[in-house]
């Protein structure tokens, strides 16, 4: 392993960070929503807490005290944390529909996705036996498409990028009366993405339990549309209040919508020209409902190139005397790559205030969700 493989492209310190702003956002993701999600999801077949693994080897290489890695590779057999969000939102929508119509006749769901969110929605639809339409863009791998089709969804492949697939999803859904289950929000579309975040909050709740009273100094969160970051931040801010860790967002240099939005102090649409290997992070616009929260709660954004993706997947897979092999997919190393990049750049390390006493929480957001790519990565 050559640790200089890990670098960053850009870093921004958010001048609008406001440590006291948690009181403003207490209603965005309410405690009631989070408790309801926990109650429901923990009753589903196959539910179990995913592990919080200590990565002593990477911590030593990064010059920090410890790294806590939430390993989502085993979540409900779907391979990513996304299993918690889309499926729960489908359940909530179906529940409302049933209350209004008495049954689920005529109820169908649709979503645009890079893979993991769609898999969750397809699984949620399959669990309750309803029709599901998935819209994917030109670069989503066939294996990801097949995984959603295997869950009973009809998969529509669209030319263009993620945002193009979202437009097509909206057009066909309004024509056919399908209910959109999106993990991102826009004007007038907020309730569902909030329920998606409520589903993710189950992971945050597990982390608090697993940390057993410890509050990490830093939390590095990968971002696509920011739904994951929003859900985690909203939850942890309510629990940890003034002791919130330093929040660092890690984004792909090709889809740096949080970076650009924080820089401009307003939501900026990034036209994605190159697709990152980190498929789940390839999103050109911050979720509208999340934006005010990120604008005040995020302290730093670091954008990363793809160079470190495969080496980090390989590093995670190598067991040591203190830990077993970890199955980390393309997005899973984003936080660790940003951390190693900081170790390779003293000015970034200093700006992030990372030192030998730091305790770092990262999210291993997926396992081998694209098995063919994972196999190639392990063999390269």
Indicate which residues carry an active-site annotation.
Answer: 82, 114
Between 41 and 278, CB nearer to ligand PLP: 278
Interface with ligand PLP, residue 262, by CB under 6 A: no
The correct pick among 33, 256, 275, 366 for binding ligand PLP (CB under 6 A) is 366
Interface with ligand PLP, residue 284, by CB under 6 A: no
Asked if residue 327 lies in contact with residue 73, where contact means CB atoms within 8 angstroms, the answer is yes
- Report d(CA 262, CA 121) in Å as an integer: 30
Interface residues for ligand PLP in 196-225 (CB under 6 A)? 222-225
The pattern of x and - marking residues 55 through 84 that bind ligand PLP according to CB under 6 A reads -------------------------x-x--
**In the 8-state DSSP scheme, what is residue 83?**
G
Between 67 and 220, CB nearer to ligand PLP: 220
The correct pick among 199, 226, 335, 364 for binding ligand PLP (CB under 6 A) is 226
Interface with ligand PLP, residue 193, by CB under 6 A: no
The correct pick among 33, 163, 168, 183 for binding ligand PLP (CB under 6 A) is 183
The correct pick among 116, 173, 260, 359 for binding ligand PLP (CB under 6 A) is 116
Interface with ligand PLP, residue 247, by CB under 6 A: no
Count other C-beta atoms under 10 Å from residue 303's C-beta.
Answer: 22
Interface with ligand PLP, residue 288, by CB under 6 A: no
Smallest gap from Cβ 242 to ligand PLP, in A, equals 25
Greatest Cα pair distance, the chain, in angstroms, is 62
Token output for 20: 């006291």
Match 């984004």 to its residue by tokens: 251
Asked if residue 116 lies in contact with residue 366, where contact means CB atoms within 8 angstroms, the answer is yes
Between 107 and 163, CB nearer to ligand PLP: 163
Smallest gap from Cβ 155 to ligand PLP, in A, equals 16
Token output for 344: 């390779």
Which residues, at least 6 apart from 10, have a Cβ–Cβ distance to it below 8 Å?
253, 256, 259, 301, 302, 303
Within 13 Å, how many C-alpha atoms sit on residue 308's CB side? 30
Residue nearest to ligand PLP (CB): 280
Smallest gap from Cβ 78 to ligand PLP, in A, equals 11
**Among the residue ranges 31-39, 49-57, 114-122, 157-165, the one whose residues contact ligand PLP (CB under 6 A):** 114-122
The correct pick among 33, 71, 114, 206 for binding ligand PLP (CB under 6 A) is 114
SS3 53: strand
Which residues, at least 6 apart from 21, have a Cβ–Cβ distance to it below 8 Å?
296, 297
- The arrangement of strands across the sheet holding 179-180 comes to 154-158, 131-137, 108-113, 179-180
In terms of Cβ atoms closer than 10 Å to its own Cβ (0-12, 13-18, 19+), residue 186 is: middle
Applying CB under 6 A, the residues found at the interface with ligand PLP are: 80, 82, 114, 116-117, 183, 222-229, 280-281, 283, 331, 365-366
């Amino acid at each position: 392993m050559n640790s200089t493989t890990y670098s960053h492209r850009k870093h921004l310190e958010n001048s609008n960070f406001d440590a006291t702003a948690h009181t403003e956002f207490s209603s965005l993701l309410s405690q009631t929503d989070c408790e309801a999600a926990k109650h429901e999801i923990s009753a589903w077949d196959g539910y179990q807490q995913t592990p919080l693994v200590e990565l002593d080897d990477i911590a030593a290489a990064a010059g920090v005290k410890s790294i806590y890695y939430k390993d989502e590779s085993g979540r409900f057999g779907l391979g990513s944390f996304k299993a918690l969000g889309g499926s729960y939102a489908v359940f909530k929508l179906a529940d409302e529909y049933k209350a209004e119509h008495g049954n689920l006749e005529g109820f169908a769901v649709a979503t645009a996705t890079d893979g993991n969110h769609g898999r969750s929605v397809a699984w949620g639809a399959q669990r309750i036996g309803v029709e599901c339409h998935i819209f994917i863009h030109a670069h989503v791998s066939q294996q990801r498409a097949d995984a959603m089709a295997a869950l009973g969804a009809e998969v529509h492949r669209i030319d263009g990028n993620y945002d193009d697939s979202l437009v097509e999803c909206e057009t066909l859904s309004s024509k056919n009366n399908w209910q959109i289950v999106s993990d991102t929000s826009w004007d007038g579309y907020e309730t569902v993405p909030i329920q998606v975040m409520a589903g993710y909050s189950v992971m945050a709740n597990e982390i608090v339990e697993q940390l057993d009273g410890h509050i990490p100094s830093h939390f590095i969160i990968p971002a696509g549309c920011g739904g994951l970051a929003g859900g985690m931040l909203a939850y942890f801010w309510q629990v940890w209040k003034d002791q919130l860790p330093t929040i660092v967002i890690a984004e792909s240099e090709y889809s740096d919508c949080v970076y650009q939005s924080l820089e401009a102090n307003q939501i900026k649409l990034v036209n994605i020209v190159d697709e990152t290997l980190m498929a789940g992070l390839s999103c050109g616009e911050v979720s509208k409902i999340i934006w005010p929260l990120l604008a005040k709660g995020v302290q730093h954004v670091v954008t990363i190139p793809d160079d470190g993706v495969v080496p980090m997947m390989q590093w995670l897979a190598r067991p040591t005397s203190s830990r077993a092999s970890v199955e980390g997919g393309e997005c899973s190393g984003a936080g660790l790559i940003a951390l190693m990049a900081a170790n390779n750049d003293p000015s970034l390390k200093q700006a992030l205030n990372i030192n030998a006493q730091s305790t770092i929480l990262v999210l291993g957001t997926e396992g081998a969700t694209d098995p063919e790519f994972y196999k190639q990565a392990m063999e390269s």
